[in-house]
């Protein structure tokens, strides 16, 4: 994509975040824009970085590692937001700052064991299958308390919050319900685990960002509206 368009898009997404925050009385500084760069070349990340963007999200591990190798000169905060097989956990433990899609204790244990000693704990969000879809990853709300307690006890992970990808809904009013539900689950977790820094709701994509912000999102994951439609 044209460099100018990426930076223009970044600016207009940032404006949308500010407008959404104003209209619901939130501080725009409380919402982090995560640029989802899956399928995009390293050059597009470099362009967005030059435009001021620091947080980038990747779904496919090998693709992410290849791009990271090209971008070692940039101080990027890397977020893993895709499905992870347990035999690939070491790459995430070694090369990412955040992991949004944790939904299995086995993988959590491996990530904690494999996190290199020189790095801060890996920040993690637990993925919740908020609409109970057969095809989607994530734990059910019923499974959440046990997984959260077990993850919170692992030394090299920092449990920060929850992530969800709701089923698509066209109308903003309908989009809010699953986000409000996820926010409620985070409130319950805060009561359950008062010692944990549970400050993160990773929710909202290009099509439902405003609804997510109205419902308390602290990280919005935006791909299409920054980098254009994926091929």
Ligand X SMILES: *Cc1c(COP(=O)(O)O)cnc(C)c1O
The strand ranges marked E within 8-139 are 32-36, 55-58, 77-80, 98-102, 122-127
Region from 9-17, 19-27, 188-196, 205-213 binding ligand X, contact rule CB under 6 A? 205-213
Q: State whether the Cα torsion 102-56-98-20 is positive or negative.
A: negative
Q: Which of 5, 23, 86, 224 binds ligand X (CB under 6 A)?
A: 224
Q: Which of 6, 61, 81, 93 binds ligand X (CB under 6 A)?
A: 81
Contacts of 66 (CB under 8 A, 6+ apart): 42
The strand ranges marked E within the chain are 32-36, 55-58, 77-80, 98-102, 122-127, 157-163, 200-202, 219-222
Region from 69-77, 179-187, 189-197, 222-230 binding ligand X, contact rule CB under 6 A? 222-230
Is the Cβ of residue 11 or residue 224 nearer to ligand X in the bound state?
224
Burial of 32 (0-12, 13-18, 19+ CB in 10 A): middle
59 binds ligand X (CB under 6 A): yes
223 binds ligand X (CB under 6 A): yes
Is the Cβ of residue 81 or residue 211 nearer to ligand X in the bound state?
81
CB of 49 to ligand X, least distance (A): 18
Give the distance between the most distant pair of CA atoms in the chain: 48
CB of 141 to ligand X, least distance (A): 19
CA end-to-end span of the chain = 12
CB of 57 to ligand X, least distance (A): 7
Is the Cβ of residue 33 or residue 186 nearer to ligand X in the bound state?
33
- Contact letters for ligand X, residues 16-55 (x by CB under 6 A): --------------------x-x-----------------
Q: Which residue is nearest to ligand X (CB)?
A: 223
> Which structure tokens are listed for 211?
């609804």
Interacting residues toward ligand X by CB under 6 A: 36, 38, 59, 81, 165, 205-207, 221-225
């Amino acid at each position: 994509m044209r460099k100018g368009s990426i930076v223009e898009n970044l600016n207009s997404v940032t404006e949308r975040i500010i407008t959404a925050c104003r209209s619901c009385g939130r501080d725009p500084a409380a919402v982090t824009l995560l640029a989802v760069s899956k399928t995009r070349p390293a050059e597009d990340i470099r362009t967005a970085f030059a435009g001021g963007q620091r947080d980038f999200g990747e779904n496919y591990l090998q693709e992410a590692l290849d791009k990271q190798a090209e971008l070692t000169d940039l101080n990027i905060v890397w977020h893993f937001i895709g499905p992870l097989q347990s035999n690939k956990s070491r790459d995430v433990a070694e090369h990412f700052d955040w992991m949004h899609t944790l939904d299995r204790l086995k993988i959590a244990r491996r990530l904690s064991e494999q996190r290199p000693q020189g790095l801060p704990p890996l920040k993690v969000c637990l993925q919740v299958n908020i609409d109970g879809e057969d095809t989607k990853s994530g734990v059910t709300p019923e499974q959440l308390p046990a997984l959260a307690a077990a993850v919170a006890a692992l030394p090299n992970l920092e449990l920060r919050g929850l992530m969800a990808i709701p089923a698509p809904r066209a109308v903003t009013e309908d989009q809010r319900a699953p986000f409000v539900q996820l926010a409620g689950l985070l409130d319950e977790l805060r009561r359950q685990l008062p010692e944990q820094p549970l400050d993160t709701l990773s929710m909202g994509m290009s099509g439902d960002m405003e609804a997510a912000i109205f419902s308390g999102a602290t990280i919005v994951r935006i791909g299409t509206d920054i980098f254009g439609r994926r091929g």
